[in-house]
Structure 1
């Protein structure tokens, strides 16, 4: 098992260096093009490369929501705790899983995912699909509206 330990204050530092040099946010995607599927549109609009200040931890969360591996390690599982926390289980490209670690509060994650969707300029259909994915994969309802 990986010896990954994420804390609220040191999460980015740990996530950024969990496996040493050569890991991080994977290659960027372009802007949505005509004829793209909804999944492709969301991937392009929400890709971490469009948001230079996005942490690798948030990049991993967005990847988890979209079913992508934007980081190395990626997130294999996210769990909400009864006291409002969020636990993440990291996984390498080789399939090696780390231990579940606290990565923050569910209310903060909900707010950050909502703000990301707004900043990405999602239209109403994209917002609806994004909100559905967040609800199904993470278990939180997004606030705000797209479009």
Structure 2
């Protein structure tokens, strides 16, 4: 069965926010990745001012729940505003479940990233549903070692 978590988006202060959440919840970050670690996208390098921003961070809250997050910036930063800076993140148990959930929930909505294999080893996609809610669907293939966003 799929698990559901909240994915928070910040405008450059993701690390500060997550360090605060960590001070309250405790625990350790199993994964922290920066935009500087990404390969070029469409032949474009990440701007120097965005390289140290958080691409993805994970803070386990319980055995079933994680707080997930990233910074925004560059071309995608202009749409960031408080109030729309979160998504519901679903981690599916299989590619088939990921496709079923993605296709069902995105029906009538706007796909912002179709389901595809990613450089970090996950099968991942994003959309806004017909009610204006942002979603992420992820499947981590056990045969691939890296953590997901």
**TM-score, with structure 1 as normaliser:** 0.24
**Structure that is richer in helix per residue:** 1
Higher strand share: 2
Q: TM-score, normalised by structure 2?
A: 0.24
